[in-house]
A and B are shown apart, each in its own frame.
Chain A
Amino acid sequence: MMKISQIIKELDLELISGEKGLDNETNGVYSGDLLSVVMASAKEKQIWLTVQTHINIVAIASLIDISAILIVEGMEVEEDTIEKSNELGIPIIRTNKTTYEISIELYKLGIN
């Protein structure tokens, strides 16, 4: 188990919102952009990698108990998504790297 705050530090990620959830712990990663598939397959406590940024991602993360949403490829995040993530304390973090590149780094960090 590793804290989201530690992962942000180690991988130099950008925290966008949901600061209240920085102490969330994670032990795995899920990646996907089709929300219905994510909803069926992602597991609680995972970090979710996606290019989707609209408010539904926070709803799904909350439903499944995702530890943090990691937006890849530097996608712009909508204002209402940010507000909801702050409200629910689900961190949204961001990288300019692709899903594949950041997955490798997460793996090297010991999250698998």
Chain B
Amino acid sequence: MKELSLHILDIIQNSISGKATNIEIDIVENPKDNIFQISIKDNGIGIKKSILKDVLNPFVTTRNTRNVGLGLSLFKSTAERSNGKLILKSKENIGTEVYVEMEYDNIDRPPLGSIEDTLIAIMSGEGDRINIKYRHNVSGKVFAFDAAKIKNIIQDVDIESPEVIMWLRGYIKENIRNLYLI
């Protein structure tokens, strides 16, 4: 995948098929210490201990025996190619965390890409059912976003409605862009 945001989208889709209702995405860009971290946490059904090791192996099992695709394996190889790692933690009926760490300045680290499109893709399809919490830290500057709070504010208006989605996209994009301004 050309962008980290596409890896993130893929992992979130796992969370959704795992019946998650809360998904937390945490991104830390720390050029000073040469580190780029991504964490995606959910409260879904989790992964059985017996197959936890297998889900990172692209050749073991098919969709019949697990409900995740190649996403984790691909993300892992991207992380390792960028001299980093992917750590998968999961507890049945509690949730799953995918944690990825990469070298910030590694030439093979893909760019983050359009993370607002990833968030919007999820919220425009599943925004009613799922609460996304997003936190993005660039050298100490932070943008945090909580879909549950937005839902509280807009009350009766559907978060999946085109007006809200359009506004959200602009809001998220603008705030993320500001993180990179010195």
Contacts and interface: CB of A to CB of B under 8 A. Distances in A.
A54 interface: yes
A35 interface: yes
A54 B107 contact: no
A39 B111 CA distance: 18
Contacts of B108: 34-36
Nearest to B82: A36
A52 B107 contact: no
A52 B81 contact: no
B107 A35 contact: yes
Interface string B107-136: 110110000000000000000000000000
Interface of B (DSSP majority class): loop
A71 B81 CA distance: 22
Contacts of B111: 54-55, 78
Contacts of B107: 35-36, 39, 56, 60
Contacts, number: 18
A54 B81 contact: no
Contacts of B110: 54
B81 A34 contact: yes
Nearest to B3: A54
Nearest to B112: A54
Interface of A: 34-36, 39, 51-56, 60, 75, 78
Given A53-B2, A55-B111, 11 more contacts: A34-B81, A35-B107, A35-B108, A39-B107, A51-B2, A54-B2, A54-B110, A54-B111, A56-B107, A75-B2, A78-B111
18 contacts: A34-B81, A34-B108, A35-B107, A35-B108, A36-B107, A36-B108, A39-B107, A51-B2, A52-B2, A53-B2, A54-B2, A54-B110, A54-B111, A55-B111, A56-B107, A60-B107, A75-B2, A78-B111
Q: Which 8 A/B pairs are nearest by Cβ-Cβ distance?
A: A54-B111, A35-B107, A36-B108, A36-B107, A35-B108, A34-B108, A56-B107, A39-B107
